[in-house]
Amino acid sequence: MKNMTIIAVATMLACIALTGCSDPAGGDDLTIEFVNHSDKGCASTRDSSKVECDGDAYLTGYEILGDTLVLDIHFQANCCPEFYENVSFQNGMLELVVVDSLYGCRCVCPYENEFSFLFGGHGDLQIDFMSTAAQIGPYCVSGFDTVITVPE
């Protein structure tokens, strides 16, 4: 019986030692703070009068510059927008909503915009992105969700 107790205690201590050295939550120390949205305008001049919205959106890449994370995002929105951002970060989930408050034309454009964030820590970052309009109605909505890993 004494040997079983020693083995159980040794196993428990080994488990504690092993998990104490790793980050079991995958980046609980990750912090994100929104800095800027660089609107580069309509990315296509030949197709800027497109009326249909197919909801195309995706992360084209990301870059880490010191303590700044820059997300390059392709999305669709009205070709005469007035954007503002709603951003929240909680438990490794970044929710980024780009809202068009103007929706000033009857056309849809592709955008290739940059979104900058101050960050700290490392780990997996779940990104949930949506582009929409402030008005209620049949407006262009595009979005995606993905996961990136912010390295140490």
Task: Render pLDDT for 133-147 as a digit per residue (tens, 0 to 9).
Answer: 998 888 899 999 999
Q: Where are the domains of the chain?
A: 26-150
* pLDDT for the residue 24: 39
- Provide the CA 37 distance to its chain's centre, in angstroms: 13
**Lowest mean pLDDT segment, chosen from 34-38, 49-53, 107-111, 120-124:** 49-53
Q: Across the beta sheet with 142-150, what order do the strands follow?
A: 83-90, 93-100, 123-133, 142-150
* pLDDT for the residue 93: 97
Kind of pairing, strands 93-100 and 123-133? parallel
Q: Across the beta sheet with 58-65, what order do the strands follow?
A: 31-38, 108-120, 68-78, 58-65
**Residue 91, amino acid:** N
Task: Render pLDDT for 44-98 as a digit per residue (tens, 0 to 9).
Answer: 765 555 668 889 999 999 999 999 999 999 999 999 999 999 999 999 999 999 9
CA angle 115/122/57 to nearest 5° reads 35
Q: How far apart are CA 109 and CA 128, in angstroms?
A: 21
